[in-house]
């Protein structure tokens, strides 16, 4: 655990405002917090608006994990599934950091149930360990100052900002928790602790292990910033590079109604706009392509319930309308261009339109991760035997189509799941049969859970799905666009994906299909009838 057992300066600050930090402070306030500070301090004069806010620093996290775990904490912490002996070992520990180390040592990302149990125990311990008073008071004081600027009970976003996220090497897209429309001192403190707990989710631990990182070396800060009221307007993401081809001459904008979480998750298919950078610089009309998304749902503030946000349907008339005007699209593109020029590299940006003030805000900016790592010294060619090309063109049956992610082709057996809980239930059933002495070879293929090379089909993906995603030959989702979680992670893993695929959940389970993302913007799913695809990689 970062900082555990090391001498720390007593004067280290528990809170740092955006106006006090820059990219040089990522070790103190994490990737998200340092980038927001960089934007707030340096790009406001260039027309880039960022809501004000503060960071609860890594020092606060370190003080929290070094506190003693009171005996009362264990009253609500149960034995985790699959690793029953670990709880007793953790109880014997004095500090929270020691208990977390017991939970994580020996974690194996390939054993989903074991990792699920270890991660569940770690989060439960964090959630039930009291927050030290010095941290509580620091958060209360800073939140009070934010309320002086924006009004009593200011609505804020509470967002995780880990020291390992938002680099050009790894996106950590959605790995840690964030909470929207949080109001009041007690709620803000509670959400801060939940952000800390999200450092120990199954998905975050698995992702770090896959990236050859040690989860015990991670630390987390938390951003607390004023909400932009996009629940009354629209929001989305921007890439200052084409997210599929890597073309650096365009800006890709995705936009949907309501809070931006649905666009990031991929649970809504957004409007998309392609803006030509050089035309933008010349002052010309620069929107060279746009696609109307279904935008069938939006996330808004929840009133009178225990939840902060809720999802509602969008009326048909609004779905058929563009969510951004030409002028708004241009303003966003100009902000994106200013951000890219400041950072000197392609960027992945989240934005929001405030429906009360009609102003556009930037709420996150991080380096683009996929094409930043791609080698420009390799040319990959795909080819097929001529006889098989003729067979493919002879009356082929297209099962369904969607938006292509990447330029590859994948094939395998369909494994369709409506939720990740279905996967866990299947793994529990398999484990039970194995403990009863049944060999895996004796279990019929249709009764097994997702296996290497299968085609993953689901409504949408979240970070929980990533252990399965990296094993897939192809990923198909019913919802989402080219900037959704499924699309971003598929690119990072180098796996073809077809997103926003309306007929995805109607595919026959265990049917063998081929998905092609090598034919332009549209991805095609067909019954697998041919083989003979060859790949060659040449050095340039």
List the catalytic residues.
485
Pick the closest to residue 500 from 401, 430, 429 (CA basis): 401
DSSP 101: H
Helix (H) or strand (E) holding 341: helix 326-343
Mapping DSSP to helix (H, G, I), strand (E, B) and coil, where does residue 355 land? Answer: coil
List the structure tokens of 239: 């890439």
List the structure tokens of 267: 């649970």
Contact 324, 297 (CB under 8 A): no
User: What does the alpha-carbon distance between residue 373 and residue 396 come to, in Å, rounded to a whole number?
Assistant: 36
Mapping DSSP to helix (H, G, I), strand (E, B) and coil, where does residue 533 land? Answer: strand
User: What does the alpha-carbon distance between residue 40 and residue 22 come to, in Å, rounded to a whole number?
Assistant: 9
Q: How far is CA 311 from CA 158, 296, 299, 300, 460, in A?
A: 19, 10, 4, 6, 15
Contact 485, 350 (CB under 8 A): no
Beta strand spans in 143-207 (E): 156-162, 178-182
Give residue 32's region: left, alpha or beta (phi > 0; psi -120 to 50).
alpha
Pick the closest to residue 337 from 283, 290, 376 (CA basis): 283
Contact 484, 264 (CB under 8 A): yes
Residue that has been written with the tokens 């880990």 in this structure = 162
User: What does the alpha-carbon distance between residue 102 and residue 121 come to, in Å, rounded to a whole number?
Assistant: 10
Cα dihedral 306, 175, 464, 130 in deg (nearest 10): -50
Contact 113, 424 (CB under 8 A): yes
Geometric angle at alpha carbon 514, from 510 and 519, rounded to 5°: 155
End-to-end Cα, the chain, rounded Å? 43
List the structure tokens of 178: 């964030």
Geometric angle at alpha carbon 468, from 106 and 463, rounded to 5°: 85
Residue that has been written with the tokens 């969607």 in this structure = 402
């Amino acid at each position: 655990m970062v900082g555990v057992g090391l001498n720390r300066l007593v004067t280290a600050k528990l809170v740092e405002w955006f106006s006090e930090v820059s990219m040089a402070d990522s070790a103190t306030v994490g990737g998200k917090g340092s980038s927001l500070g960089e934007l707030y301090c340096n790009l406001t004069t260039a027309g880039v608006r960022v809501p004000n806010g503060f960071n609860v620093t890594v020092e606060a996290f370190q003080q929290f994990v070094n506190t003693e775990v009171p005996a009362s904490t264990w009253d609500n912490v149960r034995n985790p599934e699959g690793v029953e002996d670990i709880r007793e070992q953790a109880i014997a520990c004095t500090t929270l950091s020691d208990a977390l180390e017991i939970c994580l040592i020996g974690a194996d990302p390939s054993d989903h149930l074991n990792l699920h149990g270890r991660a569940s125990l770690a989060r439960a311990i964090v959630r039930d360990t009291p927050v030290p008073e010095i941290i509580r008071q620091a958060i209360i004081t800073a939140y009070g100052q934010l309320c002086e600027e924006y009004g009593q009970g200011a609505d804020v976003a509470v967002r995780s900002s880990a020291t390992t996220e938002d680099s050009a090497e790894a996106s950590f897209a959605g790995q840690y928790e964030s909470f929207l429309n949080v109001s009041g001192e007690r709620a803000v403190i509670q959400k801060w602790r939940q952000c800390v707990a999200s450092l120990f989710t199954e998905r975050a631990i698995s992702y770090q292990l896959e990236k050859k990182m040690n989860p015990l070396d991670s630390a987390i800060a938390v951003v607390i910033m004023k909400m932009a009221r996009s629940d009354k307007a629209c929001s989305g993401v921007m890439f200052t590079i084409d997210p599929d081809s890597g073309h650096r001459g365009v800006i890709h904008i995705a936009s949907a109604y309501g809070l931006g979480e649905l666009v990031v998750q991929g649970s809504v298919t957004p409007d998309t706009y392609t803006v030509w950078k050089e035309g933008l610089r010349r002052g010309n009309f620069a929107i060279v392509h746009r696609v109307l998304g279904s935008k069938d749902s939006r996330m808004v503030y929840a009133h009178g319930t225990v939840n902060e946000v809720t999802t509602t349907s969008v009326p048909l008339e609004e779905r058929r309308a563009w969510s951004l005007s030409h002028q708004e699209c241009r303003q966003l593109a100009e902000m994106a261009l200013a951000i890219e020029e400041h950072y000197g590299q392609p960027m992945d940006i989240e934005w929001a339109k405030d429906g009360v003030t009609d102003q556009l805000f930037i709420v996150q900016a991080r380096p683009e991760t996929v094409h930043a790592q791609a080698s420009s010294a390799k040319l990959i060619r795909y080819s097929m035997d001529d006889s098989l090309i003729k067979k493919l063109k002879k009356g082929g049956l297209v099962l369904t189509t969607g938006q292509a992610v990447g330029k590859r082709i994948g094939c395998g057996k369909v494994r369709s799941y409506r939720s990740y809980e279905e996967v866990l239930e299947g793994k529990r059933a398999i484990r039970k049969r194995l403990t009863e002495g049944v060999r895996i070879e004796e279990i019929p293929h249709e009764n097994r859970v997702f296996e290497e090379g299968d085609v993953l089909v689901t409504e949408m993906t979240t970070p929980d799905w990533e252990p399965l995603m990296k094993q897939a030959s192809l990923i198909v989702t019913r919802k989402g666009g080219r900037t959704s979680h499924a699309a971003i992670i598929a690119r990072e893993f180098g796996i073809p994906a077809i997103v926003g695929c309306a007929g995805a959940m109607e595919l026959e389970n265990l049917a063998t299909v081929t998905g092609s993302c090598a034919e332009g913007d549209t991805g095609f799913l067909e019954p697998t009838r041919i083989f003979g695809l060859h790949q060659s990689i040449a050095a340039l």
